[in-house]
Homo-oligomer: A and B are copies of this chain.
Amino acid sequence: MRERLSSDTYIDGILAGDRVILSRAITVVESRLAEDKLLAQAILNGILPQTGRSLRIGITGIPGVGKSTFIEALGIYLTSINKKVAVLAVDPTSSKSAGSILGDKTRMEELVKDPLAFIRPSATGLSLGGVARNTREAMLLCEAAGYEVILIETVGVGQSEIFVKGMTDFFLLLALPGAGDELQGIKKGIVEMADAVVVNKADGLFADEAAQAAATFENALHLAQAGESGVAVKVLTCSALENRGIPEVWETVQQYVATTVKNGFFSKNRAAQQVDWMHEIVRQKLEDLFYQNKEVKKQLHGIEEEVGAGKMLPAEAAQLLLNLLFKI
């Protein structure tokens, strides 16, 4: 067992850009132990004034689209122009499978060795909400450690994308050439969340198909309403494998930031995200208060047994437990 560091040691280490301390601090934030929770809160409070200065980019796309290769190519490009880059993930499925995409050590082999890059796989064994909360806090720690661009990867179609959209400034949908509309998320509402669509694997035989897929997206987006950001969604093609089109992606992100900072959307969006986050904390704390309540703790097991045996309805049991919490 490693010795327990003080919150000040963590804070100083993070602010000095110490990657080992940063890693350990993220582990503290991910911990479910009560004493770690207090420590995590102290660390987060200490580093908060130094957060919020990075650019936060969410990246999504169906499995097989080449997210890891794309993120590595973008990461390497960014470090080549001297940006410090952190890669995080919201991958709720990693709790059940052998390992998350980022946990797979064969991925991002080059970026992992880059001194300007920091890669952290998704926490495991948590609910999606828990993973999202941890990722948000890990993002703040990375920002305090001086990382200027945070890339947050997410998987598949669904709630995890909504979480990542809710903690980033720019949301990028990675797509495949040739796959059907449905597969691309056009019908799934993901496109409507995106600030840019990038058709990956635009190489070799797929170059034509990639151009065609890009045209399909252009059409679909043309029909969609203009987004709140006031910036038209851009459709690009790239080959992460052949490392082409990556600077153009970064250029698009920068243009977006310039425009939205100017028109006020950038800060408006971050403000709304803060408010949403407050509600998320309220939800979490309500649950904590409930399940840590002495009376609830004492009776929960017996009531669960009655519900499981079909002797009490779930709704009745829930009310009974809530009455315990709120009785004076």
State whether B93 touches A63 (Cβ < 8 A): no
CB-CB under 8 A from A321, the residues of chain B are 278, 282
With contacts A128-B158, A308-B272 taken as known, whether A93 is within 8 angstroms of B315 at the C-beta atoms is no
State whether B64 touches A183 (Cβ < 8 A): yes
With contacts A159-B158, A188-B155, A285-B322 taken as known, whether A310 is within 8 angstroms of B274 at the C-beta atoms is yes
Q: Does A309 contact B (CB under 8 A)?
A: yes
Of the stretches A25-33, A70-78, A231-239, A286-294, the one at the interface is: A286-294
Q: Give the distance in Å from the alpha carbon of A257 to the alpha carbon of B89 in the complex.
A: 38
CB-CB under 8 A from A185, the residues of chain B are 63
Of the stretches A7-15, A115-123, A189-197, A200-208, the one at the interface is: A189-197
With contacts A183-B64, A307-B274 taken as known, whether A93 is within 8 angstroms of B286 at the C-beta atoms is no
Closest residue to A94 on the B side, CB-wise? B189
Q: Give the distance in Å from the alpha carbon of A96 to the alpha carbon of B303 in the complex.
A: 39
State whether B159 touches A282 (Cβ < 8 A): no
State whether B97 touches A322 (Cβ < 8 A): no
| Total copies of the chain | 2
Closest residue to A158 on the B side, CB-wise? B158
* Chain A residues numbered 46-97 whose CB sits less than 8 Å from any CB in chain B: 48, 62-64, 92-97
CB-CB under 8 A from A48, the residues of chain B are 313
* Interface magnitude class on chain A: 35 or more
Q: Does A157 contact B (CB under 8 A)?
A: yes
Q: Does A297 contact B (CB under 8 A)?
A: no
State whether A318 touches B187 (Cβ < 8 A): no
With contacts A156-B156, A281-B315, A328-B328 taken as known, whether A63 is within 8 angstroms of B289 at the C-beta atoms is no
Kindly provide the distance from the CB of A61 to the nearest chain B CB, expressed in whole angstroms.
11
CB-CB under 8 A from A187, the residues of chain B are 63, 97-98
Give me 10 other A-B pairs in contact (C-beta within 8 A), A278-B315, A278-B318 excluded: A48-B313, A93-B190, A95-B189, A96-B193, A155-B157, A155-B188, A157-B158, A271-B307, A271-B309, A282-B321
